[in-house]
A = this chain, B = another copy of it.
Amino acid sequence: MAYDKENIRNVTIKDVAKRAEVSIATVSRILNGKGRVSPLLAERVLLAAKELQYQPNDVARALKIKESRSIGLIIPDIENPFFPALVRGVQDAAKIHNYAVILCNADGKTEEEKKYIQFLYSKRVDGIAFTESVDNKKNIALLDSLGIPVVLLDRRVEGMKASGVSTDNRLGAFMATKHLIEKGKRRIVFINGSPKLSSGADRASGYQDALLSYNIQYDKKLAFIGAFTYESGYAAVENLLLSCHQFDAIFASNDIMAIGAIECLNQYGIRVPEDVAVVGFDDIRLATWYKPLLTTIRQPVYEMGQYAIKLLVEHITGERSSPYEKIFVPELMIRQSSGGLEESK
């Protein structure tokens, strides 16, 4: 049934060996540059390989040396604007080390993640970079029991069971809130993504810490829980407006929630930043295209992806054995949605 499978020239190391009149072991050694070989044979083999257009079969190689040169990348959803840069960072780094990246969108469902882990395991990936949906540690344990090296992306790692790459979310949230306070805002709404994720929890505590350090009473009614989506940002603000609580600023847990929030405010005739200042988180590209330009906390997402693979490869090769946590420093990007640079009021 298969696509022309018969007709296809499928050159193996054997064919090369025959043409160069040497043994297959010699061919292998020459092609991999292992052991010493006479230049004469080397030349003959290389020529034969070229003439036959030999391309090594990595699956056979993988079987033999137990190393597939591929890694899995599990994220919630590539359509979420946060992830493309991360994925690109991962892929670029993987490419340098000659790893193939298998992309998996698990939609933040623990069960899906588990399926993908098993799928990737049956493919015998050498490692997995993983944006875990919920910090439930079960999937980490699974990976551990399978012996697959893993690096957690965008998540702080409880108890250091695995290496992780993240941004200092607490600090970022602190900076965002502080910025709003310095703008003269006192009734600052916080729209969280998922507080079950370390990123959500940390941003919540950064928000509270900032209020505390300026002696502003933390008001539960101004704290919302959403889902890192546009709709969720929109809905949070709508609820807020209906409940008639006063507020003069919003700190949203990511940029698309911030945009959802602003859209809703606009819908109700509330101006940003004049009436309500808004700060987001992530600094996705859209933040500089959206109007008003979005003030936000920048995460070096591309670099995070790169670093994750650097770490993962170190685990795979055994260069690094114990978990390591890399925490990037966030940066406040002041733009229009918070009223810009000038300190007001």
The chain A residues found within 8 Å of chain B, CB to CB, are 1-5, 7-9, 55-60, 62-63, 66-70, 77-79, 81, 83-85, 87-88, 91-92, 100-105, 118-124, 146-147, 149, 259, 263, 285-286, 289-291, 315-319, 321
On whether the beta carbons of A79 and B84 are closer than 8 Å, the reply is yes
On whether the beta carbons of A58 and B123 are closer than 8 Å, the reply is yes
Q: Which B residue sits closest to A73, measured CB to CB?
A: B103
On whether the beta carbons of B60 and A63 are closer than 8 Å, the reply is yes
Q: Which B residue sits closest to A68, measured CB to CB?
A: B59
> Residues of B contacting A91 with CB < 8 Å?
78, 103-105
Bound CA–CA A337/B336 (angstroms): 21
> Residues of B contacting A102 with CB < 8 Å?
70, 100-103
- Copy tally for this chain in the complex stands at 2
A318's partner among B3, B146, B321 (CB-CB below 8 A) is B3
A-B contact pairs, 7 of them (CB 8 A): A2-B316, A3-B317, A78-B84, A78-B88, A79-B285, A92-B105, A102-B102
Known contacts A56-B122, A91-B104: A316-B3 contact under CB 8 Å: yes
> Residues of B contacting A118 with CB < 8 Å?
55
A78's partner among B87, B124, B321 (CB-CB below 8 A) is B87
Report the minimum CB–CB distance from A86 to chain B (whole Å). 10
Report the minimum CB–CB distance from A233 to chain B (whole Å). 12
On whether the beta carbons of B79 and A2 are closer than 8 Å, the reply is no
Bound CA–CA A63/B70 (angstroms): 16
Report the minimum CB–CB distance from A45 to chain B (whole Å). 18
> Residues of B contacting A58 with CB < 8 Å?
122-124
Bound CA–CA A59/B60 (angstroms): 8
Bound CA–CA A129/B234 (angstroms): 37
Q: Which B residue sits closest to A122, measured CB to CB?
A: B58
A55's partner among B1, B103, B121 (CB-CB below 8 A) is B121
> Residues of B contacting A122 with CB < 8 Å?
55-58
Report the minimum CB–CB distance from A93 to chain B (whole Å). 12
A124's partner among B57, B69, B318 (CB-CB below 8 A) is B57
